[in-house]
């Protein structure tokens, strides 16, 4: 019961000619670097309150993989999704946008 296409419009043909999908990156601040090859990144977003229409800051902490242990607390970093590396770590360091002062 396998389906075969005769006009060459298989799964590969659908992907041809399309632009590659953009990787979803998040920007956040490193709040912990005490773990080996792992950092905790605080990512903030703004959400509009449904009743009062005021924008509220919401944040989430994500664990990200840092292969060379280059990030320090206070750095502004960009992270991207990757395969799950542990129970709580499924993001990796994309680039360091700004170093912490001091």
6 is a domain residue: no
2 is a domain residue: no
Domain extent for 47: 16-98
36 is a domain residue: yes
Helical H segments across 6-96, by residue range: 11-15
1 is a domain residue: no
pLDDT digits (tens, 9 = 90+) for 42-101: 999 999 999 999 999 999 999 999 999 999 999 999 999 999 999 999 999 999 999 999
Give this prediction's pTM: 0.75
Domain count, the chain: 1
Whether 2 has a pLDDT exceeding 70, the answer reads no
CB-CB neighbours of 64 under 10 Å = 27
Whether 13 has a pLDDT exceeding 80, the answer reads no
Q: What is the CATH number of the domain that holds 55?
A: 2.40.50.140
Distances (CA, A) of 85 to 69, 71, 77, 90: 16, 18, 19, 6
73 is a domain residue: yes
5 is a domain residue: no
pLDDT of residue 3: 45
Answer for the pair 46, 57: CB distance below 8 angstroms, yes or no.
Answer: yes
């Amino acid at each position: 019961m396998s389906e075969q296409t005769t006009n060459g419009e298989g799964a590969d043909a659908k992907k041809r000619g399309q632009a590659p999908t953009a990787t979803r990156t998040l920007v956040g601040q490193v709040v912990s670097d005490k773990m080996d090859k792992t950092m905790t990144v605080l990512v903030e977003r703004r959400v509009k309150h449904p009743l009062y229409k005021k924008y509220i800051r919401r944040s989430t902490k994500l664990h990200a993989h840092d292969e060379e242990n280059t990030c320090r607390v206070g750095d502004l970093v960009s992270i991207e999704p990757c395969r799950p590396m542990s129970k709580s770590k499924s993001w990796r360091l994309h680039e360091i946008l700004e170093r912490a002062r001091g």
